[in-house]
Chain A
Amino acid sequence: MTQPYFETPPKITVSITATCNLQCKHCYADCTDKPTTSELTTSEWLAFIDYLVENEFIQIYFEGGEPLHRPDFDTILESCGRRMMTLVRTHATLLTSERAKKWKALGVGRLFVDLMGATAKTHDYFTGSDGSFEKSCNGIRHALAAGIPTDAVLILTKRNVGELQAYLELAHELGAQRAGILRLYPLGRAKHHWKEFALSLQEQVEALAALRPPAGLHVMRSWHPNDANCCWQAAAVDPFGNSIGCMYLREYVNYGNIRSVPFLDTWRNDALYKKLRAGKVEKSCTQCDHNEGTRGGCRSTAYAYTGSWNAPDPFCSELNEGVDIRVLPKWLLHDRPKP
């Protein structure tokens, strides 16, 4: 059995920039303050958004880098807010009350705001910027006050696992309807802090099991029995125009650049892209398959730990097979990792 094959995917993720005003230790994109190489220009992004609309895309999810750090981001939002469901992931330190109101008017449908802990001490340690926690919390308040549904998201690490329950309570107090707890991926600067940040799978599972979410707060998490292989519907473009399927595959694949190849040609013609979407894997967890309608768990972490696209995802407790996820394969620390 294979996954459904879309002629055109309905949704796409766009990493709009690899720049950021913070220098987070866990950053997956190795962000810098200024662009290191040529990012797509405003007119290139606007043309791409027109292309997406013409090809019946109905949802766009922006992340970075920090989208707000890109000076033309509101212009880009304006081009898609009324034409596609528009979601933005941000740390929100630059989101003022006025900007939030403007985003609401531009049609932004939902925000996902990163909080790396329940306290300023923990969060600011990750971001390397004193005061960033307070600014992110204020960003959430501004977005909610402007009427934009807003979720908090946290990447689970050794440094914030002790305040996971407090994080849920904080998200609830801030007014979020949902709080996401995300796994740590060995990408960007995060992989160079792996020993400091990575928990064993058992520690992660126990921390999640101990949570008691406040009434009314929905908790999103992707561990067993909800370890999804999302590749079958995944479309993503990085700041430089590379079609990469999923932002978690950013260091491993490149299906073509939209400056020279129409995006849908990469979707339809690239052999690896088609292979990953087919969902043919060596082994699957039946519970995750049942709940997520997908096969084998996340391909990014399966590949990171085994070098094989068909291997089981070790972040699923049913498929782990003795892999200690606190220990990374050495090849993963290369600039462009290949096994």
Chain B
Amino acid sequence: MFCRNGCYMTVPNLRFRPIPEMDDYVVFTPDNPNLYSLNQAARLVLAFCDGRTGTALESAYCAALDPLLPRREARAELRKTIEDLERKGILRNTRP
């Protein structure tokens, strides 16, 4: 679940494989072995997940999508994406 005070980072030891020929980006999660294809929203979220807080992440995400996506929709998309990435073991909140 999204937490404004959380510190978001990718889970250690993931392996990423860009597949530009198919406009795809795949991640391998060794702790719970699986391959996931990352959509554009997930790729953008992960690019910002360097340990910054949920609040900072939200600001960065919304700014990156402005004016393509209204702020309210961008926030909803961010939260949904974070939850999905956490569930798949790709992203973690280091300050739960």
A44: Cβ under 8 A from any B Cβ: no
Contacts of A56 in B (CB 8 A): 17
**A293 closest partner in B (C-beta):** B22
Are A5 and B33 closer than 8 Å at their CB atoms? no
Known contacts: A58-B35, A59-B35, A109-B33. The answer to whether A84 contacts B21 by CB under 8 A is no
Q: Which of A4, A6, A10, A85 contacts B33 (CB 8 A)?
A: A85
- Nearest CB in chain A to that of B17: its residue: A58
Q: Report B1-26 CB contacts with A as 1/0, cut-off 8 Å.
A: 00000000000010101010110001
- Which A residue sits closest to B24, measured CB to CB? A10
| Distance between Cα atoms of A109 and B29 in the complex (Å) | 10
CB contact list, A1-48 vs B, under 8 A: 4-7, 10
**Does chain A have a CB within 8 A of B30?**
yes
In the complex, A10→B17 CA distance in Å? 8
Q: Shortest CB–CB separation between residue A101 and chain B, in angstroms?
A: 15
Q: Is the interface of A mostly helix, strand, loop or mixed?
A: loop
Give every chain A residue within 8 A of B35 (Cβ-Cβ): 58-59, 85
Q: How far is the CB of A59 from chain B (nearest CB, A)?
A: 6
**Chain A hits for B34, CB < 8 A:** 85, 109
Give every chain B residue within 8 A of A82 (Cβ-Cβ): 13, 30
- Do A10 and B19 touch (CB < 8 A)? yes
Instruction: Indicate if the CB atoms of B21 and A4 lie closer than 8 Å.
Output: yes
User: Counting CB contacts under 8 A, is B48 at the interface?
Assistant: no
A7 to B18 Cα, complex, angstroms: 11
- State whether the Cβ of A181 lies closer than 8 Å to any Cβ in chain B: no
Chain B nearest Cβ from A13, distance in angstroms: 15
The answer for the CA separation of A84 and B19 in the assembled complex, in Å, is 15
Known: A10-B26, A58-B26. A86 touches B17 (CB 8 A): no
Given contacts A4-B21, A56-B17, contact A84 B26 (CB under 8 A): no
Q: A57-B17, A81-B33 are in contact. List 19 more A-B contacts (CB 8 A).
A: A4-B21, A4-B22, A6-B19, A7-B21, A10-B17, A10-B26, A58-B15, A58-B28, A59-B28, A82-B13, A82-B30, A83-B15, A83-B28, A83-B30, A84-B28, A85-B33, A85-B35, A107-B30, A110-B33
Q: Which residues of B contact A (CB under 8 A)?
A: 13, 15, 17, 19, 21-22, 26, 28, 30, 33-35
What are 17 sample pairs from A and B whose C-beta atoms fall under 8 A apart? A4-B21, A7-B21, A10-B17, A10-B26, A58-B15, A58-B26, A58-B28, A59-B28, A59-B35, A81-B30, A81-B33, A83-B15, A86-B33, A107-B30, A107-B33, A108-B33, A109-B34
Chain A residues in the interface with B (C-beta under 8 A):
4-7, 10, 56-59, 81-86, 107-110
**Which 10 residue pairs are nearest across A and B when measured between Cβ atoms?**
A109-B33, A58-B17, A4-B21, A82-B30, A85-B35, A58-B28, A85-B28, A56-B17, A6-B21, A10-B17
